[in-house]
Amino acid sequence: MESRGAKWRWGLLDVVVVVFALIPVLWIMSLSFKTTNTLTDGHFIPREWTLENYKTIFQTDQFVRALVNSIGIALISTLIAVVLGTMAAYAIARLDFPGKGLLVGVSLLIAMFPQVSLVSPLFDIERRLGLFDTWPGLILPYITFALPLTIYTLSAFFKQIPWDLEKAAKMDGATQGEAFRKVIAPLAAPGVFTTAILAFIFCWNDFLFAISLTSTERSRTVPVALSFFTGDSQFEDPTGSISAAAVVITVPIILFVLFFQRRIVSGLTSGAVKG
Amino acid sequence: MSATSTAAKHRAQPLSRAEKARLSEGKRAERRLGWLLCAPAAIVMVAVTAYPILYSVWLSLQRYDLKFPDDREFVGLSNYVTVLGNQYWWTAFGVTMLITVVTVVVELVLGMALALVMHRTLVGRGIVRTSALIPYGIVTVVAAFSWRYAWTPGTGYLANLFSDSAPLTERASSLAIIMLAEIWKTTPFMALLLMAGLALVPEDLLKAAAMDGATAWQRFTKVMLPVMKPAILVALLFRTLDAFRVFDNIYVLTAGANETSSVSMLAYNNLIKGLNLGIGSTMSVLIFLTVAIIAFVFVKLFGTAAPGSSEEGRR
Amino acid sequence: MADIVLDKVGKQYPDGTVAVRDVDLEIADGEFVILVGPSGCGKSTLLNMIAGLEDISSGELRIGGERMNEKAPRDRDIAMVFQSYALYPNMTVRENMAFPLRLAKLDKATIDEKVAEAAKVLELTELLERKPANLSGGQRQRVAMGRAIVRSPKAFLMDEPLSNLDAKLRVQMRTVVSRLQKRLGTTTVYVTHDQTEAMTLGDRVVVLRAGVVQQVGDPQTLYDHPANLFVAGFIGSPAMNFLSARALDGALRTALGDVPIGDRLRGMLERGEAPQEMILGVRPEHFEDAALVDEAARAKGREFEAPVELVESMGSDKYVYLTVEGERASSAELEELAADAGAADLPAGGANLVTRLSAESRVREGGPYKVWFNLEKIHLFDPSDGRNITLHEGRAAGIS
């Protein structure tokens, strides 16, 4: 049994962790609610609250377009990466074939790959292929770098599925298809979903590819658009708008974390430890 | 009748060819399915990484500046001579190394502490884990802006705390802030990996050590750390390579001013701003080689078990 | 319901390893047959081949007279209970049990009725709405059984169904399985590692080693008349004691003293049908405290004296561990048995004897003690191939 004192000490540590983790997030939120006049007052909590910054960004085409790009590109990349990753992970976890080790090795290499090393060749290749500054131009590298993540996480998940169940289903009279649909798929779904969240977070976060392989609003994602934000006029500071936009793209992440904390933790660690 | 010798006789008896062909049918089908399922993923990964990296080696051997496209020419290793003889490269390399070493060391210590808190805490475990995940999940650029505004004189609560200096305009303080932002962002990831390692330490082992008279500190260093070593090494490897790629924070916080560029930043500037594909590619290749060397050192010297490598023989 | 016939059934993997070799076995309708053997002996492979989960490389499998080799598991109409139970974690107990019926496209009323009936038999009625995760080990085991019996298949296949239970529950469930099988009268093939289950459950036991059937018979026959060293060592707990024996001057020299050679054995020795060096096997219960043996019995056996190493009193009787001089009997079979038992179960290598004496015995640890053993119950084995020399025409020989 832990003593009361120990309980307090742990509690205090918890508070430190929570404060440390949340301060930058709360700060950018605070900035986004400040009025233009109080923006530079340096107070952590706004003295005057306003939604003006949010109205402004949703009226500018620059932000709305970037948001659409971000959502579209991240969703499509996630979908494709998860589908391809599921297929490969199933094979790795369940089947025996030569070259399996090689595939695992290659995906590990890519997970560690310095992305900037790809920027220059991709920049040149995509310009030639007409992919530069298009959605597919970003989706391709996103899939590539999300794949090792999905393959690792999913094969760890798949290895945990008791495959005796597949046999049991066959004995119970199921066809191969029925065994998969009625028994295996419901068990694999949580793992696939978790992996999708992780892949989405990766695509949503990227900055380097997005800033290097785009040049116009056509395919710029929000992180890049943020760095190009300027005020309405030369004399206006874009701090408020940037903060509001930053908060908008942070919301989905916070929701994911709030609702799927346990799954994200298990997904992040399964690949690395049990691998 | 002898069971032993019968079995031996039977084993020695080879199968007829027809039998063999039929037997391997299932095995071959399994292989085909395995390859078929892995092919799309493998093709995408190889097409988007292997080919471009080879192409960038090729580009790095050329003079190729998009501002002067007609001057394109094969120049051998001269780009490498240019880059490696350039002080900006070495400054950026030093900055990157400094950031990598400092952040990874600090993250290891903080991450271990955080992992222990998350693993052991009694009250509010869910809240702690949830809030620790937020830095991991948040868009780096967003966090970077938050730090930038926090340190901007007038606007920021932190800048105002330290009189009216402008820390992001000086090299030392800028680097410190970049590292702070990096550490804030990635410590939770480190902590999660370490926590998974912690979960592998059997509770009974700690109890046994306590019974043997080990203090809390001895239990940590003599029992937990050795058991966790593989998890720690994997976490270190991942984080070191990740830290070496540092780009987003520097771009937003200083844009590389006051000699705070990392190698990624420098390569990006040469490439996208300078449109010098030859020099940019040379840097890309050099960065790739550095990362390969770091990974090699980890795997060979520290014996880091690459995750997944152990499973090849298992099935 | 149906009979199951294995006609020279074999399994060879593409890399050449033979898992099962030419098994001939006829399982009658309603019979309860146990496949037993150490791990890796091919018993699970054999079961999976009957199930259709693994291909049959050679030979033919017939269920109810019909060739099954090429049929998918679902078309064989047999149910299986897995060692891991293989309950579908996303379904409740009711859904688990209804699953095979739903796949068979039965109407809802029939399904409900059958599930209710099976649940009643296995006392699962209260648990029907629970998920497997919320059940104890014994309850999960019963659900697995329920899923098998619910659709009244032609046969049950059970793959070590009790091995994940703790000792006490295992004994309880053993009787449940036994009663259930008698009640339903369904042909059952049961794989186990545990020789107690093998002895108590089945009508007939099949002992497998390295993919080859060693002996088939009812439990008592296997116990009394083991065909070879392997079966002798595998069946029985504590295991049979093995000592080396040498035929010399008309007697067998053993660590337990000289044993007379009977006419039949003498004949075999003269004809070269038996080797000079043999392995003597004596079961623990065929020893007795010499002080407790009456005159009539005394003549049937031999007495010897040996230091007592350890006495374990079980209440009903005493396990006495004796140390005797002489070399350890050795053979490939004994090595394999020792390895399978983790060597712990088999102190009977030659230097140590396990004996089971009456509870009234006054044996004490430490000093030497006089022990009698029954010559009519001993076995002699040929160390080169393990065959039981004393066994002829299905009769235990003794050395008369």
pLDDT digits over C193-215, tens only? 888 899 999 999 999 999 999 99
- Whether C48 and C189 map to the same domain: the answer is yes
If one compares C299 and A42, the residue with the highest pLDDT of the two is C299
Q: A: neighbours with 3+ CB pairs under 8 Å? A: B, C
- Whether C71 and C42 map to the same domain: the answer is yes
For chain B, the domain total comes to: 1
Confidence class of residue B308 from pLDDT cuts 50, 70 and 90? very low
Question: What per-residue confidence (pLDDT) applies to C28?
Answer: 94
CATH architecture type of domain A57-274: Orthogonal Bundle (1.10)
**Structure tokens that stand for C45 in this block:** 């492979």
Residues 6+ apart with CB under 8 A from C261: C247, C250, C251, C252, C269, C399
In a domain, B30, yes or no: no
* Mean pLDDT for the stretch of residues C2-9: 93
A250 pLDDT higher than 80: yes
pLDDT digits over A139-182, tens only? 999 999 999 989 988 888 888 888 888 889 988 988 888 888 88
Q: Which of residues 70-99 of C touch A (CB under 8 A)?
A: 72-74, 78-80, 82-84, 86, 88-90, 99
In a domain, B65, yes or no: no
Question: What per-residue confidence (pLDDT) applies to C347?
Answer: 45
Question: What per-residue confidence (pLDDT) applies to B20?
Answer: 47
For chain C, the domain total comes to: 2
Residues of A in contact with C79 (CB under 8 A): 171-172
C357 pLDDT higher than 90: yes
Question: What per-residue confidence (pLDDT) applies to C399?
Answer: 40
- Whether C266 and C198 map to the same domain: the answer is no
Domain that holds residue C89: 4-224
Confidence class of residue A236 from pLDDT cuts 50, 70 and 90? low
Torsion of CA C54, C59, C62, C65, to 10 degrees: 160
A272 pLDDT higher than 70: no
CATH assignment at residue B135: 1.10.3720.10
Considering chain C, what is the average pLDDT of its residues?
A: 88
Best of B23, B27, B30 to disrupt the C interface (most C CBs within 10 Å) is B23
Decide if C230 and B27 are in contact by the 8 Å CB cutoff. Answer: no
The last residue of a domain, from among C224, C250, C268: C224
CATH assignment at residue C250: 2.40.50.140
pTM of the model: 0.80
Cα Rg of chain C, angstroms = 24
Domain that holds residue B219: 88-305
Question: What per-residue confidence (pLDDT) applies to A204?
Answer: 94
B6 pLDDT higher than 50: no
CATH assignment at residue C218: 3.40.50.300
pLDDT digits over B151-195, tens only? 888 777 787 777 666 778 788 889 999 999 999 999 988 998 888
Residues of A in contact with B155 (CB under 8 A): 31, 39-40, 42, 239
Which residues of chain A are in CATH 1.10.3720.10 domains?
Answer: 57-274
- Whether C204 and C311 map to the same domain: the answer is no
Q: Percent of chain C having pLDDT more than 70?
A: 94
Decide if A119 and B268 are in contact by the 8 Å CB cutoff. Answer: yes
In a domain, C342, yes or no: yes
In a domain, C390, yes or no: no
Best of C41, C206, C212 to disrupt the B interface (most B CBs within 10 Å) is C212
Considering chain A, what is the average pLDDT of its residues?
A: 86
- Whether C30 and C126 map to the same domain: the answer is yes
Decide if C57 and B11 are in contact by the 8 Å CB cutoff. Answer: no
C328 pLDDT higher than 70: no
- Whether C214 and C276 map to the same domain: the answer is no
Predicted ipTM? 0.88
pLDDT digits over A53-83, tens only? 898 889 888 889 999 999 999 999 999 999 9
If one compares B226 and B303, the residue with the highest pLDDT of the two is B226
Residues of C in contact with B30 (CB under 8 A): none
DSSP secondary structure of B15-72: PPHHHHHHHHHHHHHHHHHHHHHHHHHHHHHIIIIIHHHHHHHHHHTEEEETTEEEEE
Dist CA B19 CA B25 (whole Å): 10
Coil, strand or helix at C189: strand
C340 pLDDT higher than 80: no
Confidence class of residue A273 from pLDDT cuts 50, 70 and 90? very low
- Report chain A's terminal Cα–Cα distance, integer Å: 35
Confidence class of residue C285 from pLDDT cuts 50, 70 and 90? very high
**Shortest CB distance from B149 goes to which of A10, A31, A119?**
A31
Dist CA B81 CA B79 (whole Å): 5
Decide if A183 and C88 are in contact by the 8 Å CB cutoff. Answer: yes
Dihedral pair phi/psi, residue C189, rounded to 5°: -115, 125
Question: What per-residue confidence (pLDDT) applies to A232?
Answer: 55
Dist CA A43 CA A59 (whole Å): 27
Decide if B287 and A116 are in contact by the 8 Å CB cutoff. Answer: yes
Residues of C in contact with B23 (CB under 8 A): 12-14, 55, 57
B3 pLDDT higher than 50: no
Residues of C in contact with B20 (CB under 8 A): 14
Confidence class of residue A86 from pLDDT cuts 50, 70 and 90? very high
In a domain, B80, yes or no: no
Q: Which of residues 74-103 of B touch A (CB under 8 A)?
A: none
- Whether C220 and C242 map to the same domain: the answer is no
**Structure tokens that stand for C210 in this block:** 């390295």
pLDDT digits over B196-220, tens only? 888 888 888 888 888 888 888 888 8
B14 pLDDT higher than 90: no
**Structure tokens that stand for C316 in this block:** 């009903």
In a domain, C139, yes or no: yes
